[in-house]
């Protein structure tokens, strides 16, 4: 159950606009991000909204990546969770997250990190870090 859960909002994305508009391109981006981090995709589901954005999720052997886009706002949200069952996968989570950021190129990010199941923390109040960054 130990792991890193990254919840992020990407605003003012300057990357290829089609990534926010096309479910197939978004799915390919998510698969590339996970593959580059050494994460194993075991299932995928992506949905194209008519004349709008897309939503999708990858089920990972390590947990999941979910993403939703709003092309009219130049925005996306990301939910990436990796478990540390057999090894510490925090670095892999950061690599996948970095790959998404590199392609979407958000001008502003609001990120919340939840450290799950850490024995060093009081489980009544899980670890939560909130950061905001503007490019």
Task: Mark whether 5 is an active-site residue.
Answer: no
What is the DSSP secondary structure assignment for residue 53, as one 8-state letter? -
Task: Mark whether 118 is an active-site residue.
Answer: no
Q: What whole-number distance in Å separates Cα of residue 58 and Cα of residue 122?
A: 30
Catalytic residue among 63, 64, 78, 101: 63
Q: How far apart are the first and last CA of the chain?
A: 33
What are the structural domains, with CATH classification, of the chain?
3-134 (3.60.90.10)
Each residue's pLDDT tens digit, 87-111: 888 999 999 999 999 999 999 999 9
Catalytic residue among 13, 34, 78, 83: 83
Instruction: Let me know the angle formed at the C-alpha of 22 by 58 and 7, rounded to the nearest 5 degrees.
Output: 45
Q: Give the long-range contacts of residues 83-88, CB within 8 A, separation 24 or more.
A: 83/1, 83/2, 83/3, 83/116, 84/2, 84/3, 84/4, 85/2
Inter-residue contact 29 to 41 (CB < 8 Å): no
Catalytic residue among 5, 11, 64, 68: 68
pLDDT > 70? residue 128: no
Each residue's pLDDT tens digit, 2-56: 889 999 999 999 999 999 999 999 999 999 999 999 999 999 999 999 989 999 9
Q: What whole-number distance in Å separates Cα of residue 9 and Cα of residue 68?
A: 10
Each residue's pLDDT tens digit, 42-89: 999 999 999 899 999 999 999 999 999 999 999 999 999 999 777 888
Task: Give pLDDT, residue 49.
Answer: 96
């Amino acid at each position: 159950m130990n792991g890193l859960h990254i919840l992020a909002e990407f605003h003012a994305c300057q990357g290829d606009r089609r990534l926010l508009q096309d479910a197939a391109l978004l799915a390919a981006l998510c698969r590339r991000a996970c593959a580059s981090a050494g994460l194993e995709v075991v299932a995928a589901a992506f949905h194209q909204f008519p004349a709008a954005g897309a939503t999708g999720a990858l089920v990972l052997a390590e947990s999941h990546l979910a993403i939703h886009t709003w092309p009219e706002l130049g925005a996306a949200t990301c939910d990436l969770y990796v478990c540390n069952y057999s090894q510490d996968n925090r670095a892999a989570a950061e690599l996948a997250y970095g790959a998404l950021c590199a392609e979407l190129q958000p001008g502003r990010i609001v990120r919340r990190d939840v450290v799950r199941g850490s024995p060093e923390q009081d489980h009544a109040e899980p670890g939560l870090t909130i950061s905001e960054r503007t490019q």
